Structure 1
Amino acid sequence: MKIRDIRTHLLKAPLGDKRFYSSQAAFPARTSLLVEVIAEDGRVGWGEGGQWGPTEPPAAVIEQIFKPMLIGRSVHDVTRIWEELYGYTRDFARRGPYLEAQSALDVALWDLKGQDLGVPIHSLFGGAFRDSVPAYATGCYYRGADVHDEAAVLEALKKEAASYVEAGFSILKIKTGLWPVDKDAKRIAAVREAVGPDIALLSDANHAYRASDALRVGRILEEYGYLMFEEPVPPEDLDGYRRLRSSLNIAIAGGECEYTRWGFRDLIVGGTLDIVQPDISVAGGLSEFAKILALATAYNLMVLPHVWGSGIALAASLQALAIIPESPYRAFPLPFETEPIVEFDRNPNPLRDDLITTPFSLVDGRLPVPQKPGLGVEVNREVLKKYTT
């Protein structure tokens, strides 16, 4: 089955008064780049990129550079295509929009290959270890008309955290880093108070701190029984990561801003992380995810893909999470300790909830892995058109 055409779709869904903040920025809209790879027989494979900034640069890479190289190629040559594209652009594009473009194309090609063979993507990687994945709620961002109104934000934060427990989640991830450390300590405490002692809590700072401040926050997280501290320092600060990992009794996670097996090699061999978080739509697609997984498990590290984007990104991540073995193996899987968990963003996102014809929903605290051929999901063309810019 050969490639007949490739199309890009730049998407934007404004959030209006539902905007929210991480430590780095406001989110007034949800945006993404979808790529549509069309085979000779009319079947379509979908991939996603363009999540870390403007969608135009990776779209331009696909349209102007990669598309002419791929028309007429077999969709079964996914690995060869990945290596050829990377080799062609290595001198000037080992990170950033080129890799996002390549990630999107890679997922779309795996989607088509699975469809052509009549199997889900996880079968192409040797089979699934699970048909559903324990989910954790990513939420508890900074919200409100005035995100510096401490009393109002804390009260809303407690209600939000409790709502996730009521919805069936047993693991939650909150945001820190926008407020000063002493004020964020109140956020950390408020969520624990709202959900009680039996809910597993994780924290994500989006690289907001110097190592000294991150160490202060980490001590507070330890006090309230949090299990993971994600992106405590900027991704370039490998010494800061090592300092925190050696000083705190909490798992240090990161990698969503890293690319390819070579970038993750430096993080892993350098002893910076307990939990490795490649984003499939950014780091090189499913082809590269499999290589990062092999490297990480050789060092007995947990791999939890970072997930941010539309239903396409979530479907790709579920296919990837299905192929992760228990690490280390035990007779009974334990979510987060030995069994991987999937990030289920709970912020408003029509691109996630409306774009695919069968939205993902929680079943007994887990998200089912799609079992239809390829990614196992279909795009609603009317919704695609509605949010295309």
Structure 2
Amino acid sequence: MKITGVKSHVLQYDLPGELGYSQQYYEKRTAHLVEVQTDEGITGWGECFGPGNVAVANKGIVEKVIQPIIRGSDPMDRDVLWHRVYNLMRDHGQKGMPLQALSGVDIALWDIAGKVAGLPLHKLIGGAHRDRIQAYGYGMMLKRESVDDHVARFRDEAAGIMDMGFAAAKMKTGLGPESDIRLCQAVAEGVEGRGKFMVDANHCYTTSDAFYVGRALEELGAYWFEEPVAPEDLDGYRELRSGLRVNISGGEAEFNRWGWRQILENRGLDIAQPEVCALGGVSEYLRVLALCHAHFTPVINHVWGSAIAVATNIQLLAAMPALPGGLHPWEPMLEFDTTDNRFRDELLQEPLDIQGQVKSSGGYVSIPPGPGHGATPDMDFIRRFELDL
């Protein structure tokens, strides 16, 4: 079997309303899918992390840089291809967009391997440690409105996420420390003891401001405080973890095993959040997972994107060993974006229907049964939303 082509599909549509987090507001939903074709008619699908113009730029890396390196190769040699591509791109970036582009290609190669073997991804990895995964919903995005309006909306949205059946709710912050604490209080009230709530700052605080907000989160009973400071500030993470009772989480902006080695050796995380569509794909995710477990750091994957990303992460979470193990072990959760996302809900020939599963099962989702990651896109849908680049 030989790789005959690698296509990059950047999809986009206008959201029904503007959404925001601590770094920016956005009005469009973007997804970047990768299609790897073979001479035996087996096609693999992957996804690259990165919105908007980042996806457009990554398309060039996928098609103009990575495709010539792997075309004509056996797609089953995915580890060989990963290292060949990484080594040739190393002089031009060991992190960031080159790794995002490689991630989508690698996920597609694992999808091909599953289809060749007739096995789901979790079987290729070594089997399922669980047959269903608890899901949490995130929403409570920032908008161009007053703090009082944010407070009222966040309280209602948190309650709404719990009403949907999710096990926990995650919110955004970024209005400023004092205002953000008001938002956290509103979400704690909206959850009303029905589950956990988590806070995602998207690295908007200085260390001192993160301590200020974090102490309030201790009193409110937040489960984790995500990306409180810049991802480069390893000392800040370590100081926050040693000085706060709330769990410190992060890692979505880190890439490959070497970057993750620094984070883990620094002991700055209670919960690691690797992003498989960014850090180097399934191949590198498995190496990062092994590093996390070697440092006794629990993992809850960061999930953002289309149904390809969601299905891939469900497979990975199913195959994740319990840490540290026991009769009633600590279990990972699936992150689910509750905001409008047609690329998640309408992309596939057979939709995942995460919301329906959560509502009917008490907060759990099942593992897609098909080979590979189990997600087959509808090509008519792709053609409808693909940008003409």
Answer yes or no: same fold by TM over 0.5.
Answer: yes
Alpha-carbon distance between aligned partners in 2 of 1:57 and 1:151, rounded to the nearest angstrom: 38
Letter in 2 for 1:341: M
* Change in CA separation of 1:195 and 1:50 when aligned onto 2, cut-off 3 Å: closer
Structure 1 unaligned spans of 5+: none
RMSD: 1.2
- Quote how far apart the aligned CAs of 1:62 are: 1.5
Which residue of the other structure, out of 225, 230, 234, is the alignment partner of 1:234?
230
Alpha-carbon distance between aligned partners in 2 of 1:99 and 1:84, rounded to the nearest angstrom: 13
- Quote how far apart the aligned CAs of 1:242 are: 0.8
- Quote how far apart the aligned CAs of 1:197 are: 2.2
CA contact (8 A) 1:37 1:109 kept: yes
- Quote how far apart the aligned CAs of 1:326 are: 0.9
1:277 aligns with 2:269: no
Letter in 2 for 1:385: R
Which residue of the other structure, out of 369, 372, 385, is the alignment partner of 1:371?
369
Alpha-carbon distance between aligned partners in 2 of 1:341 and 1:378, rounded to the nearest angstrom: 23
Letter in 1 for 2:339: N
1:42 aligns with 2:41: yes
Alpha-carbon distance between aligned partners in 1 of 2:220 and 2:41, rounded to the nearest angstrom: 54
Give the equivalent residue in structure 2 for 1:11.
11
Give the equivalent residue in structure 1 for 2:249.
253
Of residues 105-114 and 19-28 in structure 1, the stretch that sits farther from structure 2 once superposed is 19-28
- Quote how far apart the aligned CAs of 1:50 are: 4.3
Give the equivalent residue in structure 1 for 2:334.
342
Give the equivalent residue in structure 1 for 2:119.
119
- Quote how far apart the aligned CAs of 1:20 are: 1.0
Give the equivalent residue in structure 2 for 1:296.
292
- Quote how far apart the aligned CAs of 1:32 are: 2.1
Percent identical pairs in the alignment equals 39
* Change in CA separation of 1:300 and 1:50 when aligned onto 2, cut-off 3 Å: closer
- Quote how far apart the aligned CAs of 1:194 are: 1.6
Alpha-carbon distance between aligned partners in 2 of 1:251 and 1:192, rounded to the nearest angstrom: 16
Q: Tell me, what secondary structure is at the counterpart of 1:281? A: helix
Matches for 1:307-326 after TM superposition, within 5 Å: 307-326=303-322
Alpha-carbon distance between aligned partners in 2 of 1:191 and 1:174, rounded to the nearest angstrom: 8
- Quote how far apart the aligned CAs of 1:272 are: 1.4
Letter in 2 for 1:349: N
1:172 aligns with 2:164: no
1:385 aligns with 2:383: yes
Give the equivalent residue in structure 1 for 2:81.
81
Of residues 358-367 and 271-280 in structure 1, the stretch that sits farther from structure 2 once superposed is 358-367
CA contact (8 A) 2:134 2:167 kept: no
1:351 aligns with 2:348: no
Letter in 1 for 2:76: H
Give the equivalent residue in structure 1 for 2:70.
70
Alpha-carbon distance between aligned partners in 2 of 1:329 and 1:302, rounded to the nearest angstrom: 11
CA contact (8 A) 1:13 1:349 kept: no
Give the equivalent residue in structure 1 for 2:158.
161
Matches for 1:126-145 after TM superposition, within 5 Å: 126-143=126-143
CA contact (8 A) 2:3 2:39 kept: yes
CA contact (8 A) 2:137 2:335 kept: yes
Q: Tell me, what secondary structure is at the counterpart of 2:30? A: strand
Q: Deviations over 1:322-366 (max 9, x none)?
A: 111111112024xxxx11111011111111111112333223201
Letter in 1 for 2:42: R
Give the equivalent residue in structure 1 for 2:54.
54
- Quote how far apart the aligned CAs of 1:274 are: 1.2
Query: What is the TM-score normalised by the length of structure 2?
Result: 0.95
Matches for 1:200-239 after TM superposition, within 5 Å: 200-239=196-235
Q: Deviations over 1:203-259 (max 9, x none)?
A: 100000000000001011111100100000001111111110010001111111110
Q: Deviations over 1:32-82 (max 9, x none)?
A: 211100111222110111415521221111111211121221111011111
CA contact (8 A) 1:13 1:351 kept: no
- Quote how far apart the aligned CAs of 1:89 are: 1.4
CA contact (8 A) 1:111 1:121 kept: yes
Q: Deviations over 1:126-152 (max 9, x none)?
A: 111112211010111123xx32x2222
- Quote how far apart the aligned CAs of 1:153 are: 2.1
CA contact (8 A) 2:106 2:280 kept: yes
1:152 aligns with 2:144: no
Q: Deviations over 1:79-106 (max 9, x none)?
A: 1111111111112220122111110000
Alpha-carbon distance between aligned partners in 2 of 1:375 and 1:196, rounded to the nearest angstrom: 36
Which residue of the other structure, out of 286, 302, 307, is the alignment partner of 1:306?
302
* Change in CA separation of 1:86 and 1:31 when aligned onto 2, cut-off 3 Å: same
Alpha-carbon distance between aligned partners in 2 of 1:212 and 1:139, rounded to the nearest angstrom: 26
CA contact (8 A) 1:131 1:368 kept: yes
Q: Deviations over 1:154-202 (max 9, x none)?
A: 222111111111111121111112x121111111111111221241111
Count of residue correspondences:
380
Alpha-carbon distance between aligned partners in 2 of 1:263 and 1:127, rounded to the nearest angstrom: 27
- Quote how far apart the aligned CAs of 1:368 are: 1.4
CA contact (8 A) 2:177 2:209 kept: yes
